[in-house]
């Protein structure tokens, strides 16, 4: 804020004046960042939302809507694997809202008494994602069992991985993936980059790829649908804003954004 002054050029009175000015600046100017992700300072509030990676597009849009409707409030997101996010919350990461891709990952948080009465707000279904030109000629789930077909799956502890395991079990198939990814976005990226021939991901992620990949429906997906619960956290640093954000997600406006992205009503 001030250029460095030679200690010989500053007299004692002037040094005192500068010190007072600096002290006053530090105490009266609101900080633009905080060590804690969620905070309230000088009338400004930040609500921090931990959300499944598959919600990235829709929640980013809803975050902008929320900020426009609540001047002075900003929304910060932490998108990733629901299992990883749940562990971060249990380990003390400051967060206001948790939106998970499965009841099992939400249960990690509710069992720790960090959220109460989560609400299922959408459901999601798997599709086979293949490159737009589908070089391996994948047409059905059974094609993924061909050892010549390179397949990416989500890791088993991730909701999309658990859903994939259910679908494959229902089809009586054993698939050996060439890679196991930590969230659905990373899994889809393998297809987009042409590093694999196919992947099992959510249909919403296929739609969000805007034509970079092709989605193939398969009947066993109906036996592996994931419910998505959301809850304001009991130790939310911004509890009022947390409740308002959850209310937006559950509102007709929120449901409209989510269903347009391919999510199903619960």
pLDDT by residue (tens digit) across 60-105?
Answer: 999 999 999 999 999 999 999 999 999 999 999 999 999 999 999 9
- Looking at beta carbons, which pairs linking 5-10 to residues 24 or more positions away fall under 8 Å? none
**Residues recorded for the chain:** 266
Is residue 1's pLDDT more than 50? no
Q: To the nearest 10°, the Cα dihedral for 230, 214, 152, 173?
A: 90
For residue 157 the two structure tokens come to: 């502890």
Q: What is the DSSP letter of 74?
A: E
pLDDT at residue 43, as a whole number = 61
Q: How many CB atoms lie within 10 A of CB 41?
A: 11
Q: Which domains does the chain have, with CATH numbers?
A: 43-123+227-260 (3.40.190.10), 126-223 (3.40.190.10)
Angle of CA points 152, 153, 157, to nearest 5°: 150
Residue-wise pLDDT tens digits, 137-148: 999 999 999 999
pLDDT at residue 44, as a whole number = 81
């Amino acid at each position: 804020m001030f250029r460095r002054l030679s200690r010989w050029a500053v007299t004692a009175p002037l040094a005192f004046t500068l010190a007072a000015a600096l002290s006053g600046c530090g105490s009266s100017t609101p900080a633009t960042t905080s060590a804690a992700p969620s905070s309230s300072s000088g009338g400004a509030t930040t609500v921090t939302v931990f959300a499944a990676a598959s919600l990235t597009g829709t929640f980013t849009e809803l975050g902008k809507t929320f900020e426009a409707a609540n001047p002075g409030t900003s929304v910060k997101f932490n998108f990733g694997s629901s299992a990883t996010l749940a562990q971060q919350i249990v380990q003390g990461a400051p967060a206001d809202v948790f939106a998970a891709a499965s009841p099992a990952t939400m249960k990690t948080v509710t069992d720790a008494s960090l959220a109460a009465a989560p609400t299922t707000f959408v459901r999601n279904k798997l599709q086979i994602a293949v490159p737009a030109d589908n070089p391996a000629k994948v047409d059905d789930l059974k094609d993924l069992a061909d050892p010549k077909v390179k397949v990416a799956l989500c890791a088993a502890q991730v909701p999309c991985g658990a859903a994939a395991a259910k679908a494959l079990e229902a089809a009586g198939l054993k698939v050996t993936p060439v890679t196991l990814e930590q969230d659905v976005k990373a899994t889809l990226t393998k297809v987009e980059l042409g590093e694999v021939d196919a992947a099992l991901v959510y249909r919403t992620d296929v739609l969000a790829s805007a034509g970079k990949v092709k989605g193939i429906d398969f009947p066993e997906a109906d036996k592996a649908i994931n419910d998505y619960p959301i809850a304001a956290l009991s130790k939310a640093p911004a509890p009022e804003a947390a409740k308002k954000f959850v209310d937006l997600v559950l509102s007709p406006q929120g449901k409209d954004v989510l269903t347009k992205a391919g999510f199903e009503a619960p």
